[in-house]
Structure 1
Amino acid sequence: MSTPTTSSTRTGRHLPHPVLVVSVVFAYLVALYPGTLPRDATTTTIVATGVTALGAAVGKLLAQRSSRHRGLPDRQTRRVILGIGVLVAAGGAGLAVWWQNLIRAALEAAPTGPDWWAGATLAPLAIVAAIVLVPRVTAVVAASAVALAAGLLTPASAGADEAQPLPRTVAVSESGTLLRGALSAPEFTPPATRLVQSWVSGDGLSARAVIVAVPTGSGWVDQAAVAGFGDRFDGDVRILTLPYADVPSWKAFVSDDAVATDSSIALVRELARILESRPEADRPRLVLYGQSLGAVGADAARIWLEDHHPGLLAETVLTAPPAGTVAAVSATPRLVVANRSDPVVRWSLSSLWRPPAEPAEVVLGGPQVPQVPWLPVVSFLQTSVDLLAALDGPTGVGHRYGVEQARAVSGLPR
């Protein structure tokens, strides 16, 4: 005689598999793990939904495999795991909102609204239900959504939103301070020679200082830094920059970051030849400067000068170099400037498995933001998401810097 199927038995049978619950909750908590910058509702929705959906898909496959080998878990186990999962997910959502508001308060941004709440809770819940109930339709819709999101969400690139057309020959700024060479990659020696010749003919040797400003991948030089160096040297300064690419910095960094190194060394090689032809007391102060990917090239030029022309370089100023891209220490005076909330200085592929390291001379600026412990993979994911909004804040927030980046290295004259 068969046992009647009760309502509670049918309900328990339709409860999600414990493996699925654990996978979804774990992915949801990973998605909500905070970074150091405010997240808008759209980004929060995409990240929370996408990562949770991945957890649901993986959990569903693992649950099916577990059921084939071990059979279905009993009703009580499903109820207990589901109840714990709901409580943990709800607690994680509340903690995420609280932490997000802490970050926003520190950066003087508005607190989260209902749209943020909905994106962090309702959207992931809806996608999990869809994956469990109609997996094939959901897969098609998800593929379309991923393709759309890939086109909309691209990493921030310093200077990408402030066009500075690259010249065919040497171009001089309106103030006469900034001299920009022509883009001629991968041959950097000819444009470097023309740029230095233009600097000499423009009475650059009589200035107090010459700044080699290695640009970002787009050929951009931060005008705040230009103004800062102008103020620091009372306008008696020349700034030389040689572009090495005309694409966003992140694309140049991924495709070939060596071009920033090659171009900066080519420029300082030509400059050193001219400077060493004059007495030390009768030549301008040589300073290297670079921001973002430009900082990588500036630090490479520093090392080259230390090896080939010791005593010629006065100082190096690096602004927001990506994590692990510059030497930990310097033999000559060096200053590394970084905002506390800047994700660029924490981003590197190696941060997938180890915490990012800071150079010895780093000087932190900007508002103090709450920091969460580093976690493998998770912190890399959230730092990558922060890159999307790195340029959205005011000066001192994220990847936005001001005239303070042109400050003198401690103990050196202005």
Structure 2
Amino acid sequence: MSVAVESEQTPEQERSARPVPGGKPAWRGWRPTLGRPVRVFEPSFSGTGLTMAAWFFALSLVPSLLPRSGMVQGVVSGVTVIIGYAFGAACQAIWEYLGIPKPRGRVRTVLVWVTVGLGIWAAVFTGWRMVGWQNEIRSTFGMEATSPTIWPTILALTVVVAVLLLVIGRALRLLFTTLVRWLDRALPRRVAVLVGSVLLLVLGWALFSGVLVNGFFTVANNIFGTRDTIIADDMRQPQNAERSGSPQSLSAWEVLGRQGRYFVGGGPTVTELNAANGGGAKEPIRVYVGLRGADSLQARADLLLEELKRTGAFDRKVLVVATTTGTGFLDQNGVDPLEFAWNGDTAIAGVQYSYLPSWISLLADQDAVKETSRVTFDTVHQYWSTLPEATRPKLYLYGLSLGSFGVESILSQINIINEPIDGALMVGPPFVNELHASLTAQRDAGSPAWLPIYEQGRTVRFTAEQNGLDRTTGPWGPTRLVYLQHASDPIVFFNQSLAFTPPEWLKDGQRGPDVSPRMGWFPVVTMWQVLLDLPGAGSIPMGFGHLYSAKANLEGWVGVTNPPDWTPDKTEKLAAILEARPYKDT
């Protein structure tokens, strides 16, 4: 909520403030004062604020990247309405504080009726169209249609959220006016207002960053840390020596962590690989070290290296150092396709760095994912680079979501220049990825922002659900980097600049096929809408948002690793097998 400074001038004081003929303006002696303390639950409102709230409510209903349920729409609308109300109330307060003359008489009446009428019309019109707009997106995503029965939920939540935020805003304003009145006893009024504003901002930031944020992360770590220790009934401990957590493993099953146990116990069997590829399969190597596996990061990296040596990973054709997501998750749609494509002649290794889900780790663990990625890679790469080049495995990197952020931190290191890696697959790169943002900004002219072409695809290529790796006919060098991303993925395309700058991916000719043609850009509102799309990015059908299909990952791996004697028919055959397997969302 905006804090407004009000004046206590009466009509008589206003008249006395006018210039006196032949004398000094009376207002030169006027000293502004604060209005009466605001009652937090007072049922009075700013007319301008209510008008702007109606306009912002209308804007909150326009489509965003993802379809919305009634509950999500209610939260979006509630916050957007209060942003509009605060903006309108602040404009009205500033207008009055500056003493700018207001329209009067018939002009004022016409302006009020026009602005209010247009605001109500906009709210009603967008409300009428909202269900249809949402169903257009749902149809694109292959989801069931919604109906107008979601409106009671939307309206109820809009009111509850808006009232709650209004009460909080008024409470902050009351705190501000009380603080300024107290300071006014010893300081000039304008100094008191300035000092009070600074003190309130400092106090708010200290409470938010010190108490609320740290408290939230502490509670989250305790909750998810406890969950990480639970060994669920559907977790199967591997018995093959090629897996961490097996009886022969140096990395014990009990300390692998929740996602580590699912990773080493999953994946295709030799029987499945033989059936898919006609025989000759090997048991895929999966190596993992949990956060409880050792006391320090370097110790965990050393343990991973020892596991790779123990399992014979450096004798395989393909070795992948994978950066996990927040909880230690490695997506089966990301790792299984590689094992099918190479008939099990692979080794995939990962190290856990957090207990928190990615949407929290994105805020709390950026340094942790960077450091874990670099130390783990350096430890493995240093040993790998000492092996004969003709017999050592090809070395690749993999990361989904925040994992791709870790991969980028590795690619920026100088120590891989002499012994470069062979490639990397980065899936759903989040908006914090600096390399991704730089490549997009420097893309070749004519290529769209949602799926760029960079330097004719010589090293880096972008693809989506429909394979886009062959959009350029130029040569692809020995080191191949691939970004797999959906135009409808808010984790990729959210940015704080959305508040005041229209994004390129919404401009004509730049919009992806899974983005609603009715989605527009509005200051502040669009940023807030896409921000609220983030938590739901993984709760929609596969192939949209932040859920990347096995086929899309397979095509990415084929492009990065370039298996021998590969044909498009092989891609289609393996994709059908992969997509027929049940997907376990752990």
How far the C-alpha of 1:215 sits from its partner, in A, is: 0.3
The 2-side partners of 1:219 and 1:28 are apart by 40
Asked if 1 retains the 8 angstrom alpha-carbon contact of 2:285 and 2:313, the reply is no
Structure 1 residues 122 and 255: CA distance shift in structure 2, 3 A: closer
Structure 2 counterpart of 1:156: none
Structure 1 residues 76 and 370: CA distance shift in structure 2, 3 A: closer
Structure 2 counterpart of 1:115: 149
1:306-363 Cα distance to aligned partner (Å, 9 max, x none) = 64344431110001111251412767411001123211001233444446689xxxxx
Structure 2 counterpart of 1:368: 514
Partner SS, residue 282 of structure 1? coil
> Which of 386, 392, 400 is 2:539 aligned to?
392
Aligned Cα root-mean-square deviation (Å): 3.7
1:119-163 Cα distance to aligned partner (Å, 9 max, x none) = 4557657988x89xxx879979xxxxxxxxx9xxxxxxxxx9xx7
Structure 1 residues 62 and 308: CA distance shift in structure 2, 3 A: closer
How far the C-alpha of 1:412 sits from its partner, in A, is: 5.1
Structure 1 counterpart of 2:370: 261
> Which of 297, 302, 318 is 2:426 aligned to?
318
Q: Which amino acid aligns with 1:86?
A: I
List runs of 5+ in structure 1 lacking aligned partners.
Answer: 1-15, 141-149, 151-159, 359-363
- 1:344 matched to 2:425? The reply is no
Aligned length: 371
- 1:270 matched to 2:379? The reply is yes
Structure 2 counterpart of 1:178: 286
When normalised by structure 2's length, the TM-score is: 0.56
> Which of 205, 223, 237 is 2:332 aligned to?
223
The 1-side partners of 2:387 and 2:161 are apart by 70
- 1:27 matched to 2:56? The reply is yes
Structure 2 counterpart of 1:10: none
- 1:237 matched to 2:237? The reply is no
> Which of 367, 392, 407 is 1:298 aligned to?
407
Structure 1 counterpart of 2:549: 402
Asked if 1 retains the 8 angstrom alpha-carbon contact of 2:65 and 2:516, the reply is yes
1:13-59 Cα distance to aligned partner (Å, 9 max, x none) = xxx97623541133213422321111001111122123213423553
> Which of 39, 42, 45 is 2:68 aligned to?
39
Asked if 2 retains the 8 angstrom alpha-carbon contact of 1:93 and 1:121, the reply is no
Q: Which amino acid aligns with 2:115?
A: I
Asked if 2 retains the 8 angstrom alpha-carbon contact of 1:265 and 1:301, the reply is yes
Partner SS, residue 410 of structure 1? helix
1:82-111 Cα distance to aligned partner (Å, 9 max, x none) = 222222222233343332221111012222
Partner SS, residue 515 of structure 2? coil
1:350-380 Cα distance to aligned partner (Å, 9 max, x none) = 444446689xxxxx99x72325344443322
The 2-side partners of 1:218 and 1:411 are apart by 26
Asked if 1 retains the 8 angstrom alpha-carbon contact of 2:139 and 2:145, the reply is yes
The 2-side partners of 1:221 and 1:64 are apart by 53
Partner SS, residue 238 of structure 1? strand
Structure index of larger Rg: 2
Q: Which amino acid aligns with 2:428?
A: A
The 2-side partners of 1:126 and 1:242 are apart by 43
Structure 1 residues 322 and 374: CA distance shift in structure 2, 3 A: farther
Asked if 2 retains the 8 angstrom alpha-carbon contact of 1:208 and 1:237, the reply is yes
Matches within 5 A, 1:66-145: 66=95, 69=99, 70=101, 73=104, 74-120=108-154, 124=158
The 2-side partners of 1:136 and 1:291 are apart by 41
Partner SS, residue 421 of structure 2? coil
Give the % identical residues: 23
How far the C-alpha of 1:245 sits from its partner, in A, is: 1.3
Q: Which amino acid aligns with 1:295?
A: S
List runs of 5+ in structure 2 lacking aligned partners.
Answer: 1-44, 172-212, 214-223, 231-244, 254-263, 267-283, 440-453, 461-478, 506-510, 564-586
The 1-side partners of 2:229 and 2:487 are apart by 31
How far the C-alpha of 1:248 sits from its partner, in A, is: 1.6
Partner SS, residue 240 of structure 1? strand
Question: Which range moved further: 208-217 or 344-353?
Answer: 344-353
Q: Which amino acid aligns with 2:120?
A: V
How far the C-alpha of 1:386 sits from its partner, in A, is: 0.6
Structure 1 residues 281 and 107: CA distance shift in structure 2, 3 A: same
Structure 1 residues 127 and 339: CA distance shift in structure 2, 3 A: closer
The 2-side partners of 1:136 and 1:195 are apart by 53
How far the C-alpha of 1:113 sits from its partner, in A, is: 1.5
1:203-249 Cα distance to aligned partner (Å, 9 max, x none) = 11111111111001111111221211111211111110011111122
Partner SS, residue 482 of structure 2? strand
> Which of 234, 239, 252 is 2:361 aligned to?
252
When normalised by structure 1's length, the TM-score is: 0.77
Structure 1 residues 378 and 53: CA distance shift in structure 2, 3 A: closer
The 2-side partners of 1:125 and 1:58 are apart by 18
Asked if 1 retains the 8 angstrom alpha-carbon contact of 2:337 and 2:557, the reply is no
Structure 1 residues 188 and 374: CA distance shift in structure 2, 3 A: farther
Structure 1 residues 294 and 356: CA distance shift in structure 2, 3 A: farther
Partner SS, residue 369 of structure 1? coil
Asked if 1 retains the 8 angstrom alpha-carbon contact of 2:424 and 2:560, the reply is no
Structure 1 residues 63 and 348: CA distance shift in structure 2, 3 A: closer
Asked if 1 retains the 8 angstrom alpha-carbon contact of 2:425 and 2:560, the reply is no
Partner SS, residue 74 of structure 2? helix
Q: Which runs of 4+ in 1 moved over 6 A?
A: 125-128, 135-140, 166-169
How far the C-alpha of 1:385 sits from its partner, in A, is: 0.8
The 1-side partners of 2:428 and 2:155 are apart by 34
How far the C-alpha of 1:399 sits from its partner, in A, is: 1.3
Question: Which range moved further: 197-206 or 347-356?
Answer: 347-356
The 1-side partners of 2:53 and 2:133 are apart by 21
Pick 1 or 2: higher relative contact order, CA cutoff 8 A, min separation 6: 1
Asked if 2 retains the 8 angstrom alpha-carbon contact of 1:390 and 1:398, the reply is yes
Partner SS, residue 535 of structure 2? helix
The 2-side partners of 1:89 and 1:19 are apart by 16
Q: Which amino acid aligns with 1:104?
A: R
Asked if 1 retains the 8 angstrom alpha-carbon contact of 2:141 and 2:541, the reply is no
Q: Which amino acid aligns with 1:223?
A: Q
